[in-house]
Structures are given as structure tokens and as C-alpha cells.
Chains A and B, each alone.
Chain A
Amino acid sequence: MDIKDIIKPENKVYGRTPLLKDAILHYCPGCSHGVVHKIIAEVIEEMGIQDKTIGISPVGCSVFAYNYIDIDWQQAAHGRAPALATATKRLMPDKYVFTYQGDGDLASIGTAEIMHACNRGENIVVIFINNAIYGMTGGQMAPTTLLGQVTATTPYGRKAELNGYPLKITELIAQLEGTCYVTRQSVQNPGAVRKTKKAIQKAFENSMMKKGTSFVEVVSTCNSGWKIPPVQANKWMEDNMFPFYPLGDMKDR
């Protein structure tokens, strides 16, 4: 049997959602951003809410998220996405509003905005990509960088006495009365991808139920920043990040 006999429409079992634009991703091979983008695009398509969804992109590698998912986007100043989302959702309560933020954006420069938006219980979705490093600027220490982890600004490894401790911001967020759903997921294998997709779909559904803020952390890889090839990066993440950032739901009500 020739391969051409197999490649036929009736044999198709998987395809790119049309909401993921036919654009070449600028992300490095092995980076988790592309997978999470695909999940969000699929959830929006499956829920049929393309015309009702507003995305808010951060400063960082995913600043260009608007080039890939075919919805209306706002691009926020560094760390301020939850403030934009707050106003957007309050002014257009019938819309699904989500922010997409990295760890530098959300857990460092934007800590005030994320804490207060979550504490007010804004009916928004927050997708938090935690790869424990600043990717866009070339691999500097992030608030979530692990102790001992080598980065461009911790060349001898992160030391608590010099740099403080990695911030478990999702655990803090889970304590806030305004949040209804707080979970930590990952996308390094098909099972994890399916779980993350379920979590993101639940978060989008929550945002129309006036239950408060839904917060989905995705522990992610940054091969370029970590300077580890993709396959080993997944292993490094499982061995080093998962023990400190354990996966699972922290809150669901």
C-alpha cells in the first residue's frame, strides 16, 4: 500500500483547528507555548465562542499570541493584563475574557494586578505559563526560578540569600476569596495535554457563571532559556519543577 492511499480525507483523525492561524510560530522548538495556544484555540472553537472571546497578551515571548489565535486581542503593558481584562469583562459582561501571561509578567512585575483582579473575583480566565525563566529577554532569573537553577542573572545558581525564594504564586491565588477555580497543569505528554484542555475549558465555562476568577497554571519548558534540548527539558521539568510545583487542582468550587 502506497502512502498516498492512506492520506485521504476519510482517514483523517486529527486536524489543526481553523482558529489557529496558518502562521509560523516564533516559539523555539520544544517550547510549551505552541501547545497551550493550540489548546486555547480548540476550546474556543469547540465552545463556538470566537465572536465572544477577547484575549489579552502579555509582555514576554507570548506577546505575539495575537498572531496565532484568530480572535480579537489586546496587548497589555508588562504585567497589566488583569487590569485590561477587568475593564473589558465589566464593560462587556457577555464576552469571554482571558489573559495569557508568563511568570515574569504575572508573578513579578504584575503581582499587584493579578492579586487584586483575582481578589475582586473578576469573571475572567487567567492562563499562567510558568517556565521558571525569562525567555524573551534571554534567560534571566524569574520569580519562579528554582533554587540552584542557573540563569543569565544567576550564573552560579539561584541562592535564597541573594535572590530570595521561588514564588508559589498559584498557591497564594488559591487563598483568595475571589477565585473559584485554581489548578496547575502541564503539557509534556498527550495525557497532560488532555488534562490541561479540560481545565481551560472549565475555566472558560466558569467565566459565564459569575463564580469568580479561574486560574490555570501550566508548568512549561523553555529549552532556549534552560539550554536543554526538548526531550531532556521535559524530563528536567518532571524531575525538578513538579516536586516544587505539584500538579493538580488547588481549588474548585
Chain B
Amino acid sequence: MAEKILMKGNEAIAYAAINCGCDGYFGYPITPQSEVMETLMKEKPWESTGMVVLQAESETASINMVYGGACCGKKVMTSSSSPGISLMCEGISYLAGSELPCLVVNVMRGGPGLGTIQPSQGDYFQATKGGGHGDYRTIVLAPASAQDMYDFVDLAFELAFKYRNPVMILGDGVIGQMMEKVELRPSKPRRTEAEIRELCSSWATIGKTADRPANTITSLALQADVQERFNIKLQKKYAEVEANEVRYSTYKCEDADHLIVAFGCMSRICENVVEIARENGIKLGILRPITLFPYPKDALNALVPQLKSIMSVELNAGQMVEDIKLVADGRVPVSFYGRQGGVVPSPEEIYDAFVKTIK
């Protein structure tokens, strides 16, 4: 049986990075995710796998170090929390605009502004609709456990290199700080120089050899038609991601009359809401989007005909609910319940809010 270790979600990110052959981590301390870099520094992976770990002077520098590392075909990542991610958004736009693979972990806290250091899901719009400037998308994975934090690191790198696109793990302060048992996976070695050359030689800046023209990584196109052609290519890629990479899970949806849609820590809390509802004779189920982009539109759409109501439960003022309404398209009432500023609701509180919507 695989080894299980009790750890925080943030620590799981660090151990997973070392374990899955990550080449470099660049970060800046911010609560509630500082354990990611602290764990890496304690583990000293540069002595074991050769992974580079560097504390940068700012989130701006961190994401641009990620940009530089990604240019070299390396598996590179950063982690931060909401205000820091705002600073990184310029860089994420450049990464998307230069079609570079990387992992950005956001352990969300309450905002806007400096906000709180308590958990939040207030960055849903920022993560799924852009954040930085221009027409781009990041692939967004929403972990609901420390195990997810661990497993999604490897998955994120797979997706990042498959589509040459930034991937974000959108966690929150609950998932980052909570300690759970995490099952460790078989380790993957870091890619060798020869493997990187074979995989990325057509685009990466790993030194121009005689057998190929020089590679330039840039997101600059001064001519309008050139930029438009590139943007159309990007949109095609995002359509491919939407067709192939949707991930979600359902809980007691088979006979459900009512549905809660919740991601991350809220999907865990809402499992208890389902139990309370069913004890009271109400057939309630949960759809948990695991990828927030691409959004599980088809799965939600398939459930709509059997439903009398949908409620979105989020740790924000109502962000994902807009995507649910687009899918429901007026066929079924869609309500929202959320708490903000770092307040996490209890299952009973959510159940009470839910019951009011169906009366």
C-alpha cells in the first residue's frame, strides 16, 4: 500500500512538485500559502532532484522567473495568494500570449485589496475569465482536499505541456491550511536535457543549434492581422481544451430534484448539506466542477431536465453562479448563497438558505 502522510494542502503542493519532477519554483511569501516555499526550502530538492527553488523579490519577479524558466522548456511553477496573483496577472497574460507551459497556484484569501488572510473563492472571475489583459484563458483546477493539491500538481504540468498554456490550481485558505492524509504517488524524475530537447526543441530557448533556426519567445505582433491570426489560433486551442479536458464529480445526483453546484472546499461542506436535506426527504445532489475552465457545461446541462432548482454555493458574492445561469438558460431557477471576507458557512446555514429557495 502506498505511503500516506498527514500534511497541509500547502505542503502537499511542495511535496508533489519535488515528486513529479518539477524543475523550478519561484515565489514570494504571502499568507495563507507560505508553507509551499517553506517546505521546499526545508526539503532542499536542489540536493536531491536538482530542482531550483528561489525566493524572489516580489510576485512580479516570481512570475517573470516562471516565464524565463518556461521559455527553456522547464517544468516551472509559482504559488501565491489573491493579492499576489493580481500582481502576477501581467505575467500570466504574457505566458498565455507566448504559449508557455507553467503552473500557478492560488491559495485564495478574502479581498478586494489587502482583504483578509481567511479563505475565499473571490478570485473565480480572475482565474476563469482572464485576470490579465487580452483574450486568453488559463486551465483552472479546483482542489477540494490536500490529496487534490498533491495530485493536481502533476496533472497541471501534464496539461500545461500538452497545450503549452499556463495552468492554475485555484485552492483556498481552507484547502491550503487543512491537514489531511495524503497518499504519495510514484515519483517521476526531472526531464533530462535530451528529453527537453526532443520535446521542446521547436520552440524553447535552449541554445540555437545548427539544425534549426533560432527560437524566439515573444507575444509581440505589431501588425493587426498577424495578432488576429494568432488570437484565432489561441481560441482554437481553448476550444480543444473545452472539448477534451472537462473534469467534474457528482454526489447523489442520480435521483436529485435539486442541485447544489460548488467547487473546492465548498463542495466538501455541501456534502453535509445533502445529508441534512435527504434526512428531511429532499432529494439534493452536488455537481462539483473540478476544472473551472473548461467549465463542465455539458454535465450540468444534462442534469437540468430532472431539476426543480439549482443553487450555487460559493465563498464570494456570486461569481460562478453566472456560468450556471448561462447553462440553465432560464429552464430552472438558479439561486446563490455565499459568505464573504473569509467567513465559511456551516452546512446547517447553507441548508437553511437552500430550503428558503425551494419554498
Q: Which residues of A line the B interface, CB within 8 A? A: 50-54, 56-57, 63, 66, 70-77, 80, 83-88, 90-92, 95, 112-113, 115-116
Contact of A72 among B68, B91, B207, B220 (CB under 8 A): B207
Contact of B72 among A71, A73, A92, A115 (CB under 8 A): A92
* Chain A-chain B contacts (Cβ-Cβ < 8 Å), number: 124
Question: Which residue of B has the minimal Cβ distance to A65?
Answer: B216
Contact of A112 among B58, B69, B71, B207 (CB under 8 A): B58
B20 close to chain A: CB less than 8 A: no
Q: Which residues of B line the A interface, CB within 8 A? A: 23-24, 26, 52, 54, 56-58, 60-62, 64-69, 71-72, 74, 76, 90-91, 94, 98, 204-210, 214-220
By the criterion CB–CB under 8 Å, are B208 and A77 in contact?
no
- Closest CB in chain B relative to A115 CB, distance in Å: 8
A88 neighbours in B (Cβ, 8 Å): 68-69, 71-72, 205
Q: Please, how many angstroms separate the alpha-carbon atoms of A77 and B205 in the complex?
A: 16
Question: Which residue of A has the minimal Cβ distance to B90?
Answer: A77
By the criterion CB–CB under 8 Å, are A116 and B61 in contact?
yes
Q: Please, how many angstroms separate the alpha-carbon atoms of A113 and B67 in the complex?
A: 14
- Closest CB in chain B relative to A17 CB, distance in Å: 14
A74 neighbours in B (Cβ, 8 Å): 67-68, 71, 205, 216-218
- Closest CB in chain B relative to A160 CB, distance in Å: 29
Which of A51, A84, A91 has the largest number of chain B CB atoms within 10 A?
A91
5 CB < 8 A contacts A-B: A72-B216, A83-B61, A84-B67, A91-B76, A116-B57
Contact of B64 among A70, A73, A83, A95 (CB under 8 A): A83
Q: Please, how many angstroms separate the alpha-carbon atoms of A221 and B323 in the complex?
A: 54
- Closest CB in chain B relative to A123 CB, distance in Å: 13
By the criterion CB–CB under 8 Å, are A51 and B219 in contact?
no
Q: Please, how many angstroms separate the alpha-carbon atoms of A73 and B205 in the complex?
A: 6
Q: Please, how many angstroms separate the alpha-carbon atoms of A91 and B102 in the complex?
A: 14
By the criterion CB–CB under 8 Å, are B72 and A91 in contact?
yes
B98 neighbours in A (Cβ, 8 Å): 75
Which of B57, B64, B68, B69 has the largest number of chain A CB atoms within 10 A?
B68
Question: Which residue of B has the minimal Cβ distance to A80?
Answer: B64
Q: Please, how many angstroms separate the alpha-carbon atoms of A88 and B91 in the complex?
A: 16
